[in-house]
Amino acid sequence: MSHRPQRGTPSLTSTDVLERVWKDFRAGQHVTCPRDGEPLALSIDASSTTYRFVCTQCGHASPVFEATADGVRVCDFSGDLFDPETMTDE
C-alpha cells in the first residue's frame, strides 16, 4: 500500500526543505523524512559526486543534487540543472 501525503505536506523536491535537510545532515544531525518523520538514507553516486535522500519507509525521495559551498544544486538525471519547483510527485 502506497503512502500518499495530504496536499501541502513538505516535500524533498522543495529546494528550501532539501537545503535544510542537507545542512542538518552535514552537521551530524539525525535527518528524517518531511512527510512521515522516518529516517532518511543518503544515496551517493561517487562517479558523478551527486547525492539523493530517500525515506527508508515511504520511499519519498529528493531529486539528485550536488553539494556546493552555498548549499545544494539540483540536477536532472543527465546532470543538467533544472528547477525542482516544477517537479511533481506523480
**Where are the chain's structural domains?**
15-77
pTM (2 decimals)? Answer: 0.74
- Selected residue with higher pLDDT from 46 and 90: 46
Mean pLDDT of 74-83: 60
> How far is residue 24's CA from residue 65's CA, in Å, rounded to a whole number?
16
CB contact at 8 A, 12 and 34: yes
pLDDT in tens, 1-56: 445 545 556 889 888 899 999 999 999 999 999 999 999 999 999 888 899 999 99
> Three-class SS of residue 7?
coil
pLDDT confidence band for 85 (50 / 70 / 90): low
